[in-house]
Structure 1
Amino acid sequence: MSQIAGTRARLVWAVNLAALLLVLLWTVPTFGLLVSSVRDRDQIAASGWWKAAFPSTASAFVRAGGADTAVQEGDLWVISGTVLEKGQRLDAWGVTSRAPEAYRPGETAALKDGQSLTVAADGSYRLTSPTAFAGGRGMRIFVTTTVPPRVTTENYARVIGAEGLGQAFLNTLTVTIPATVIPILIAAFAAYALAWMEFPGRALLIAVVVGLLVVPLQLALIPLLKLHNDIGIGKGYMGIWLAHTGFGLPLAIYLLRNYMVGLPREIIESARVDGATEFQIFRRIILPLSFPALASFAIFQFLWVWNDLLVATVFLGNRHDQLVMTGVLRELMGSRGGDWEILAASAFVSIAVPLLVFFAMQKYLVRGLLAGSVKGG
């Protein structure tokens, strides 16, 4: 026995290391998503989120003014302007994409037809020509700049306002809260009956609940939608509440039943001797003692419904006023695939509420899962 105990003690470090790796596996990307959501497009394109606290180098081109902006100064025609935005510092510049860093700030490039271009350290440029400029579009000036780190909340303002995520947030709350509460209420009654009440067919019902845990919900989507249409529910909040309730009940009943069956029998028998009804025992004894299991399932169900897209698409619809947050993010991925700052802000808004729920109730999640996994009857 001492060898077994010693072996287990030596493996503690491996368990702790695995737990730490799992925490990092989820925490690091989430933190990176938060950092990216407060950076602008240029910063995201120039460097990774882990470099957000340091200045970044970016390369781009700026088009000089056209011929219509030229002014005559003595014998020369001059086009002037700036190649920098606020906060940028010029490192190098060029006139071709093959040599974008050919010149240092303050140097002059000799161009064709006697033209010349000078770009100063402050970003101001001066393009001169001995003859009038021709053509409508100005030449391209390639610049390499250093951009200081900066934080912006414009991404969140665009997402919540212009991108329609605010309405989707309310739609998701409208779906998630009832779809979490209703299964818990029903499953708590069913779990108590299967755990502490004797009636014919109880063992068969328990077997059916366990069997339903392995049935893919995709098999039931179309038949259930057809049933909703036949009975007049159609697509709407009532339909999606009932769908999530049906899909979540097997796991809820299984977890709560395994937890309740492990509660002290003496307490329940004493209550029955004192004349308490089954409903009084359930309400005053079972529910308070089963709070960890109820909370653990509530976390599971809340996260599942909040992050759901398939069930919402089938039972709620695809109109803009019906979309949940995952539906809006899907549209943003399709239409704004290059706007990573918008996608990062949208994604972080969508996970903010589940993170708050998880961290607020995580201790109940662990207690409920451990109790439900080792107790049975």
Structure 2
Amino acid sequence: MSVTVTPRVPTLVPAGTAVTVPPRRSLIARVADRFGKALLQICVWTVGLFWLLPTVGLFIESLRAPADNSATGWWTVFGRPARLTLSNYLNLMQDKDILGSLWNSVLITVPSTVLVVGIGALAAYALAWIDFPGRNWVYALTVALIVVPVQVAIIPDAAVFRTLHIYGDVPAVVAFHVAFGLPFAIFLLRDFFAGIPRDLLEAARVDGGSELGIFRRVVLPIGRPAIAALAVYEFMWVWNDLLVALVFADSAHAPITYQLLSQMRTFSSNIDLIGPGAFVSMLVPLVVFFSFRRYFLHGMLAGSDK
């Protein structure tokens, strides 16, 4: 007697056609999916408002009379908005010390930014695409100089500036900012320029282009976002500097940050100048940043995928 056994053949399902039931999600996960985006927006707006609160307070203080600032807080203005006045800004425009310091800030910041961007771009191109002996060592030394603190060079540079008879004048402050701004500028632009396709530069050389011509006609247009980002960064850094101005500038050639510190020594009697002066000093770099924010963000993120 024979017994026939029928083998059990599993049912074959083509790949990707099986119906799978997703696992049941917890209540907390479903609530997070439903309200997560709204909660994130609320958190962002809350942080933004707290970040802007000191700026709003400074702006309101600059529009209040000195007696009101001494008597009550700036938030009380919402109950009496009619007490706001522009007289503080009119007095600021008539103060020769403040106006002179604002002009000194321009004389310090603009040349420093132009020199750092110009020299840094040329040096970065040379380190990225021109072969010369010791190129890697020069680049390594440049990167190492980024971590050198400003305080280390104050005394030696002060001696050098006194020998050159520029100590206390605008060129001394500009020279110091340029010296300490170049290492970071070269580091930032060199990495960006190194990402330019080699074939593009080789084609320009085959066409008879000189290194300076290639830099001006090929590298600069491609590197515009990084250059603009560096210019914004350097402008904001130099404009808001106080330490270098305190050491290397006298009162006649001091920037606005130095002058505001001098006014703080008699805070109670000069509050009508400190408020609008501080707001104007803060407004200039903000205008520069928001005017070029597209280039700034593009330049900061351009090398993230390399």
Amino acid at match of 2:157: L
Q: CA deviation at 1:164?
A: 2.0
Amino acid at match of 1:253: I
Tell me what 2:267 maps to: 336
Could you say which structure has the larger radius of gyration?
1
Whole-angstrom CA distance in 2 between matches of 1:15 and 1:251: 35
Tell me what 1:357 maps to: 288
TM-score scaled by length of structure 2: 0.81
Structure 2 vs 1, CA of residues 238 and 153 (structure 1 numbering), >3 Å: closer, same or farther?
A: same
- Structure 2 residue 61 is matched with structure 1 residue 36: yes
Whole-angstrom CA distance in 1 between matches of 2:203 and 2:47: 45
Tell me what 1:185 maps to: 118
Runs of 5+ unmatched residues, structure 1? 1-9, 56-147
- Structure 2 residue 234 is matched with structure 1 residue 325: no
Query: What secondary structure does 1:158 align onto?
Result: helix
Tell me what 1:214 maps to: 147
Structure 2 vs 1, CA of residues 232 and 51 (structure 1 numbering), >3 Å: closer, same or farther?
A: closer
Whole-angstrom CA distance in 2 between matches of 1:167 and 1:196: 44
- Structure 2 residue 43 is matched with structure 1 residue 26: no
Q: CA deviation at 1:286?
A: 0.4
Runs of 5+ unmatched residues, structure 2? 1-32
Query: What secondary structure does 2:190 align onto?
Result: helix
Structure 2 vs 1, CA of residues 12 and 362 (structure 1 numbering), >3 Å: closer, same or farther?
A: farther
Q: CA deviation at 1:47?
A: 3.9
The answer as to whether partners of 2:226 and 2:298 remain within 8 angstroms in 1 is yes
Whole-angstrom CA distance in 2 between matches of 1:15 and 1:237: 47
Aligned positions of 1:197-212 closer than 5 A: 197-212=130-145
Select between 170-179 and 224-233 the one with higher mean Cα deviation: 224-233
Select between 307-316 and 333-342 the one with higher mean Cα deviation: 333-342
The answer as to whether partners of 1:333 and 1:343 remain within 8 angstroms in 2 is yes
Tell me what 1:266 maps to: 199
Tell me what 2:227 maps to: 294
Q: CA deviation at 1:158?
A: 2.1
Between the two proteins, the alignment pairs up a number of residues equal to 273
The answer as to whether partners of 2:168 and 2:253 remain within 8 angstroms in 1 is no
Whole-angstrom CA distance in 2 between matches of 1:182 and 1:276: 25
Structure 2 vs 1, CA of residues 255 and 23 (structure 1 numbering), >3 Å: closer, same or farther?
A: farther
Q: CA deviation at 1:219?
A: 0.5
Tell me what 1:303 maps to: 236
Which structure has more relative contact order (CA 8 Å, sep 6+)? It is: 2
1:50 to 44, 65, 75: 75
Whole-angstrom CA distance in 2 between matches of 1:14 and 1:248: 41
Query: What secondary structure does 1:263 align onto?
Result: coil
Greater per-residue helix proportion: 2
- Structure 2 residue 287 is matched with structure 1 residue 368: no
Whole-angstrom CA distance in 2 between matches of 1:295 and 1:238: 24
Whole-angstrom CA distance in 2 between matches of 1:186 and 1:374: 26
Greater per-residue strand proportion: 1
Query: What secondary structure does 2:78 align onto?
Result: coil
2:180 to 247, 252, 256: 247
Amino acid at match of 1:50: W
Amino acid at match of 2:116: P
Tell me what 2:13 maps to: none
Tell me what 2:4 maps to: none
Tell me what 2:21 maps to: none
Q: CA deviation at 1:363?
A: 1.1
The answer as to whether partners of 2:104 and 2:170 remain within 8 angstroms in 1 is no
Q: Deviations over 1:140-167 (max 9, x none)?
A: xxxxxxxx63221111122232362111
The answer as to whether partners of 1:256 and 1:372 remain within 8 angstroms in 2 is no
Whole-angstrom CA distance in 1 between matches of 2:303 and 2:160: 34
The answer as to whether partners of 1:155 and 1:341 remain within 8 angstroms in 2 is yes
Tell me what 1:313 maps to: 246
Q: Deviations over 1:181-200 (max 9, x none)?
A: 01111000000011111122
